[in-house]
Amino acid sequence: MVESDIVPSEQKAKLNELSTRPHTSHEIADFEIIVVFEERTFRIDFVIKSGAEISRNISEADVWHQISRPLDHDSDIVVFLSYANLTIPLKNKIRKHGSKVVYIIHDELCLLFKNYAELT
């Protein structure tokens, strides 16, 4: 259950639904949220690489496909979360998209979880 005073109730329901559904190769992203800021609506897609996925040999092409899929479906921002570090070629591909793709990886992801008391 999403507990937050700043997340609108309809978004809480959607996040709860998304967190329990099975993930398939046909989905656009792991999570999708709609944010309204200063009367403008943004679609933000989250792509998450789990520890199980990272431990397998995943090709850079596969990772890029997961990041680029939301861009192909008119996402305003793609947030890529992973404990693994990114390769330089993958970082270069991401940089070509400017501020449309944001990644939070490794140490930054751990700090984020620590700040929200999800890690000790």
Q: Are the C-beta atoms of 73 and 97 separated by less than 8 Å? A: no
Read off the pLDDT of residues 14-31 as tens digits, 9 standing for 90 and up.
Answer: 766 766 666 666 678 888
Q: Tell me the pTM.
A: 0.72
Give the Cα separation of 88 and 16 in Å (integer).
34
21's tokens? 């559904």
User: What's the pLDDT band for 7 if we cut at 50, 70, 90?
Assistant: low
**Inter-residue contact 42 to 34 (CB < 8 Å):** yes
Domain boundaries, the chain: 9-115
Tell me the β-bridge partners of 33: 44
Average of per-residue pLDDT across 103-115:
82
